[in-house]
Amino acid sequence: MGEAKPADGTVDTFPKLLIDNARRIGARPAIREKDLGIWQAWTWQQVKDEVAAMAAGLKMYGFERGDSLAIVGDNRPQLYWAMTAAQALGGKPVPMYQDAVAEEMQYVLEHAEASFAIVEDQEQTDKLLEVMDRCPKLKEIVYKDPRGMRHYDQPFVRSLDSLMEAGRKFLAENPGWFEAEAAKGKGEDIAIMLYTSGTTGRPKGVMLSFDNVVITARNGVAWDKLDENDEVMAYLPMAWVGDNIFSYGQSYVAGFCVSCPESSDTVMLDLKEIGPTYFFAPPRVFENILTQVSIRMEDASKLNQWLYKKFMDVALRVGPQLLDGKPVSFMDRLMYGLGELLVYGPLKNELGFTRFRLAYTAGEAIGPDIFDFFRSLGVNIKQLYGSTEASVFICMQKNGDIKPDTVGPPATDVELKIADNGEVLFRSPGVFVAYYKNDEATKSTKTDDGWVMTGDAGFFDADGHLKIIDRAKDVGKLNGGTMFAPKYLENKLKFFPYITEAVAFGHERDYAAAFINIDLEAVGNWAERRGLAYSGYTDLSMRDEVYDLVAECVDKVNKDLSEDAALSGSQIKRFLILHKLLDADDGELTRTRKVRRSTVAERYGELINALYSGVDVCPVEATVTFEDGRTGTIKADVKIREAKIFPSQQAQAAE
């Protein structure tokens, strides 16, 4: 996008990009937010004015060059502006996960040495006040939403409005101050610090420079030909690198408008109203949408069900080919066109997908069924492989060259190689500067010549697409010597709508076994349809009928595995359905909903033992943390089932 990238190359930081956008496309919308039921928009010119006021306000209350600014809250325009304001002042914005509990926040606040915090509301203010005495550097808390804040009389707690008011006064007396401050920034300066959620150990602060983020964002924009006419919905946590690239970096580079939902509960409704053209969602979001559609179709009238089935068959057969521009017969084209009119179009409209030019999914493997479903509807969903340390993009699929089980070829300017142990290594302009105050971790992750170890095991297929199988350190061996890739098994299980989470065991064991969490909504609906009464998750999870249902899924996974010579030995011999949902509040999942294996193994030791002994039932007690922070226990007798083991295809052929 030549327009977005001036030839002289001086626009190398976000504050400079903002000033440039205000000059070039100042009257175009930059960001929107739904407030009191109405979409409010700010143009690039207005955003620049707001950011300047915020920067001046921060400056007046003592924010210095090199300081860290903690940012906590849902996706709000003001919080995105806070990032640019801090960057203009030469500070490091540190967006934090808004649903983290106070103790988790304390670690990041303390480690990042945040001196200022800009937070969304009373809830976040309270959390920070709770840990403030343990964060000696933190001296000011600024809140956006004044609701409930009237009685906070601490001198270091103030409203964003008052801070910006002070900033505006300062700007009136010092015109040109913001531009001068912004001009001091350079491409190699630290743009942002993102704390990785950390499946192991303490979170690490990944420092990304402006060059990292801006160049990577530009490459991404060029790859997919994004421009100022695109629309994005910002609804994923601001602390996550993906949001920083999609809703911030690429928006500043391409000049497109970002919309912030009214609240986290209204995302799907707001999506429908905004109709974005460019969308990002982890696989579970697409999975939820598909589950919702399936459930609602089951409640639809007979005629609608018939139409849906009829045309979805057509779509699944020819939709992906049409999307990839491959030849399709005239008759099929005609049927697909009719389907678009009767089924796909209305369905996409209902979901807010009508204007999608492209949608990305990453973070985990997406189920082939889900992937095919959306592609067959004409939704250009693609996979990408990335990490915080790469400023997101490592591999991404190209239009017209999509495979459901790979993450595509390397992205622009990215070099890739596979180490001897199968680990994927990359080198790119997006490679992070270092971990903050953690040289040891930096050294063990990044080599001196800039190669970064991803920790993921993978290989290239015949077309040069990367295929990721698991975390390199998680790939183990069964006692028999068969390779055991737990994530691979878990993903296969999770592709079933009835299974929401799975944890596979097998390293240095005689056979593979698994814990399963059922999907309360999908299985609940299934149970209702059968007139099966239940009182809650625990009760439902222990029903024999549900076990039968899950056993069918496990059998199918085993059948699939039996077809793959290398993995046939790792078929799941025994499984159980956990009596409670694994939960981030209990430390069993990370905030990005990845399983913490060590915690699970520790907490459910007896159940693992039960999987590897002959027993059929294992009594357990589990501690649960309620949303208000209190704890309670759940007692249950967890049943253990044997699954069907299929002979390996090779062995069958030999017979």
Partner 1 sequence: MAHERNIGDTILSVDQISLSFGGVKALSNISFAVKEHEVFAIIGPNGAGKSSMLNCINGFYHPQEGTITFKGNTRRQVRPSEAARQGIARTFQNIALFNGMSTLDNIMTGRNTKMNKGIFWQALRFGPAEKEEMEHRAVVERVIDFLEIEAIRKTAVGTLPYGLQKRVELGRALAAEPDLLLLDEPMAGMNLEEKQDMCRFILDVNDEFGTTIVLIEHDMGVVMDISDRVVVLDYGKKLAEGTPDEVRTNQDVIDAYLGVSHDDEEA
Conformational region of residue 621, where left means phi above 0, alpha means psi within -120 to 50, and beta covers everything else: beta
Nearest residue (CB) to partner 1, 264 versus 613: 264
User: Is there binding between residue 265 and partner 1 (CB under 8 A)?
Assistant: yes
> How many beta carbons lie within 10 A of that of residue 626, not counting itself?
9
User: Min. distance of Cβ 151 from partner 1 in angstroms?
Assistant: 4
The residue from 6, 62, 66, 148 that contacts partner 1 (CB under 8 A) is 148
User: Is there binding between residue 269 and partner 1 (CB under 8 A)?
Assistant: yes
**In one letter, which amino acid is 400?**
G
> How many beta carbons lie within 10 A of that of residue 437, not counting itself?
13
Hey, is 195 helix, strand or coil? strand
Between β-strands 231-233 and 257-260, what pairing exists: parallel, antiparallel or unpaired?
A: parallel
Nearest residue (CB) to partner 1, 439 versus 627: 627
Nearest residue (CB) to partner 1, 439 versus 628: 628
Residue that the structure tokens 């915020």 belong to: 54
DSSP string, 245-288: IIIIIHHHHH--EEEE-SSGGGHHHHHHHH--SEEE--HHHHHH
Contact 381, 254 (CB under 8 A): no
User: Is there binding between residue 632 and partner 1 (CB under 8 A)?
Assistant: no
User: Is there binding between residue 627 and partner 1 (CB under 8 A)?
Assistant: yes
User: Is there binding between residue 263 and partner 1 (CB under 8 A)?
Assistant: yes
Stretch near partner 1 under the rule CB under 8 A, chosen from 92-100, 142-150, 422-430, 522-530:
142-150
The residue from 266, 354, 399, 625 that contacts partner 1 (CB under 8 A) is 266
User: Is there binding between residue 449 and partner 1 (CB under 8 A)?
Assistant: no
Alpha helices in 255-385 (DSSP H): 267-274, 283-298, 302-323, 330-339, 345-351, 368-376
The residue from 262, 456, 470, 474 that contacts partner 1 (CB under 8 A) is 262
Stretch near partner 1 under the rule CB under 8 A, chosen from 29-37, 111-119, 429-437, 561-569:
29-37
Between β-strands 392-396 and 415-418, what pairing exists: parallel, antiparallel or unpaired?
A: unpaired
User: Min. distance of Cβ 578 from partner 1 in angstroms?
Assistant: 22
The CA dihedral of 615, 621, 622, 628, to the nearest 10 degrees, is 160
SS3 content of the chain, % helix, strand, coil (to 5): 40, 25, 35
User: Is there binding between residue 173 and partner 1 (CB under 8 A)?
Assistant: no
User: Is there binding between residue 535 and partner 1 (CB under 8 A)?
Assistant: no
User: Is there binding between residue 626 and partner 1 (CB under 8 A)?
Assistant: yes
Q: Which two tokens stand for residue 572?
A: 């799941």
Residue that the structure tokens 């009136």 belong to: 172
Nearest residue (CB) to partner 1, 145 versus 501: 145
Nearest residue (CB) to partner 1, 143 versus 484: 143
User: Is there binding between residue 302 and partner 1 (CB under 8 A)?
Assistant: no
User: Is there binding between residue 36 and partner 1 (CB under 8 A)?
Assistant: yes
Nearest residue (CB) to partner 1, 107 versus 152: 152
User: Min. distance of Cβ 261 from partner 1 in angstroms?
Assistant: 9
User: Min. distance of Cβ 266 from partner 1 in angstroms?
Assistant: 5
> Rounded to the nearest 5 degrees, what angle is found at the Cα of 645, between the Cα atoms of 644 and 647?
140
- Which parts of this chain interact with partner 1 (CB under 8 A)? 35-38, 147-148, 150-151, 262-263, 265-266, 269, 626-628
